[in-house]
Amino acid sequence: MNKGHSWLVLSYKVPSEPSTIRVRVWRTLKALGVVYIQQSVCVAPDTEEVKKKIQSIKRLIESNEGEALLLEVNKFATHTEEELVMLFNKHRLAEYEELLEGCKNFLIEIETETKKGKFTFHEVEENEAELGKLIRWHKKITKRDFFLCSNSAQAKELLDQCKQMFSEFVETVYSTEGKVEGEITKD
């Protein structure tokens, strides 16, 4: 997104009971990638998807005896917008760092299993599940990476490396087990 775009500001108040509504609202907003500027006041870039979800959250709050005010802001002061972008990127940076750590651990696991010669279908299943988690996690982060955080490219590169290394591991498992992936054998 370029500078000078529009924003959404949601200010809300939910009843303290039941806490499930408060938790649901908070989780949904965090998953969207909003930034809280004060308690129960959050900001997000005005995209079609974000606006649709925030409007849905607003309706949820109001239907549960809460209050919500959604503001559409065409432009903040330049300094404020720069601060907001830095704040968004700070949050994404932390998420990408955690993802990068997960990718590094995945690569270490594959290397360890390769050194030990643990070329089994069980290891393929375990690592496939872990790689799937990393891929889904990356997709969630990139979806809320509105301002292309500085280490987004690094995260994609390392995730691609994980995919490549896993693919090579799978090929080794199949060749070690004497089978070709997708081949039907008669036992």
Q: What are the domain boundaries of the chain? A: 7-75, 89-176
Residue with tokens 């690569």: 107
In one letter, which amino acid is 164? Q
pLDDT given for residue 187 in this prediction: 53
Which residues are registered as beta bridge partners of 169?
Answer: none
pLDDT given for residue 177 in this prediction: 77
Alpha carbon distances (Å) from 97 to 24, 113, 119, 148, 155 = 26, 24, 30, 14, 8
7-75: CATH topology is Alpha-Beta Plaits (3.30.70)
Instruction: Give the separation between CA 157 and CA 107, rounded to whole angstroms.
Output: 13
- Name the stretches of the chain with pLDDT < 50: 1-2
Instruction: Give the separation between CA 145 and CA 45, rounded to whole angstroms.
Output: 10
Q: Is the pTM of this model over 0.75?
A: yes
pLDDT given for residue 2 in this prediction: 47
Residues 6+ apart with CB under 8 A from 157: none
pLDDT given for residue 3 in this prediction: 55
Q: Which of 84, 95, 90 is nearest to 46 (CA)?
A: 84
pLDDT given for residue 1 in this prediction: 43
Instruction: Give the separation between CA 29 and CA 50, rounded to whole angstroms.
Output: 9
